[in-house]
Chains A and B, each alone.
Chain A
Amino acid sequence: MTQKKKKLPRVFEYFRDEDQFAGGVAFCAGCPLELTLRILSKVLGRETIIVGTPSCSAPVLYGQNIGTWHRLPYYSCLMTGVASSATGLVRYYRKIGKDVTVVCFTGDGCAADVGFQPLSGAAERNENFIYICYDNEGYMNTGIQRSSTTPFGAATTTTPVGVVGRGKEMSAKNLPLIMAMHRVPYVATATLSHMEDFIKKLLKAKEKKNEGFVYIHVFSPCPVGWGIESDSAIQVCRMAVRTNYFPLWEAERGRFRLTHTVATPKPVTEYTKLIRKFRHLTEEELARLQEEVNSNFAFLHHLAEFETPKAC
């Protein structure tokens, strides 16, 4: 039987470099964080320095005793100092004339809560580095506590569901929108189910970091904390995009553009039924969540429409 040689899809051509991580690293099975890091090292290449904090990514990025799990240089600092430390690194490498990509890789707890002040400061100073926040909507490493990006109604260990509690009472902070309002060269949201979109945004980030601050918000479901099966993390990512719960967009100096539009958005119940942290929600609470999703998307849509001139 003669077989025609099958062709690999085009998305693999974006992988310029080899995987810089060891084959087996200590991330939970099915965690999209591991995929984010491996894609990052494949796309951005070896000339990358990661700045990180104590978080889910820390056990792997730090190394253990005198060994290491990957070949990228890593600068570890406290949650309150990640953007400031990256500023110092960038300025040092600019002084010695070496072209490197400094990437801050932190969770939503650092980006939205603990380390928000240096992040906002670095964005305002327009420092030349990439800040990647993987948003798992809580402090997953320390035991699934709520953070300010935890959505309304989500059950965590500090917002438990019981006789009194009904999950988180407040709405989530829309961090990527806040960062876009700093009018930095590039802000984008990405998720792993839309891989080509994510890779293109990483490449664009590498280019745009020469102009200034770049922020990428990666939606990253946590199989343990959210109560999803280990095989359905990518499915949850995809459903979050299809329900407009997590719209994919990018903003260049405040000019918004939706990179992926959903023709007929699904109701948010299609997303929440996949996830155990939402299973206690009643009809009214789901309606409120849907209302939040709708208003967030409408706001974003207005921004995108407003900022895109029809003529050019």
Chain B
Amino acid sequence: MVIRKKFSSKYEAGWSDADELLLCLDTGSWRTKRPVVDKEKCNYCGLCALYCPPQCMLNLEDYFAPNLDFCKGCGICAKECSRGAIAMVPEGEFADEGAKR
């Protein structure tokens, strides 16, 4: 499904002034597992953000968190995290959150 919408979130890439012709896929819906960051274990090394293929790890100044709109759930962040701070949790456990998104 192709979403055609005006981008307004600050998490969008450099073209938040883009018009409707810039396409964007809802790649968050591809995900079967969701990366969950343990804030205590995270030492802000940035490896997850560096290796994330869609480059969707958000820098929250103290730790990194995935942008779940675009995270495809590939799991590279969890594999590359040297401290094991990211766990891949099956999406089924977040089934109740569906209404919020």
Contacts and interface: CB of A to CB of B under 8 A. Distances in A.
B75 A38 contact: no
Interface stretch (A63-71, A160-168, A240-248): A63-71
The secondary-structure label for the interface of chain A is loop
Q: Which of B15, B28, B51, B54 has the most CB of A within 10 A?
A: B54
Contact of A11 (B46, B55, B61, B72): B46
Interface string A1-37: 0010111110110000111111111110111101100
Nearest to B12: A23
B36 interface: no
A19 B55 contact: yes
Interface in A177-234: 192, 195, 229-234
Contacts of A27: 53
Contacts of A192: 51
Nearest to A5: B61
Given A23-B56, A24-B69, A29-B72, A234 B51 contact: yes
Contacts, number: 125
Contacts of B69: 23-24
Contact of B50 (A3, A11, A22, A232): A11
B83 interface: no
Given A18-B13, A19-B13, A68 B22 contact: yes
B75 A230 contact: yes
B25 A24 contact: yes
A8 B46 contact: yes
A67 B22 contact: yes
Contacts of A23: 11-13, 24, 27, 54, 56, 67, 69-70
Contacts of A24: 24-28, 54, 69-70
A235 interface: yes
Nearest to A39: B55
Interface in A53-75: 63-64, 66-69, 71
A67 B15 CA distance: 14
B22 A35 contact: no
B52 to A, nearest CB: 8
Contacts of B4: 67
Interface string A129-149: 000000000000000000000
B53 A71 contact: no
Given A38-B55, A67-B23, A69-B23, A30 B14 contact: no
Interface of A: 3, 5-9, 11-12, 17-27, 29-32, 34-35, 38, 42, 63-64, 66-69, 71, 192, 195, 229-235
21 contacts: A11-B46, A12-B46, A20-B13, A20-B15, A23-B70, A25-B54, A29-B30, A30-B74, A30-B75, A32-B53, A35-B55, A38-B54, A42-B55, A67-B21, A68-B21, A68-B22, A230-B74, A230-B76, A233-B53, A233-B74, A234-B51
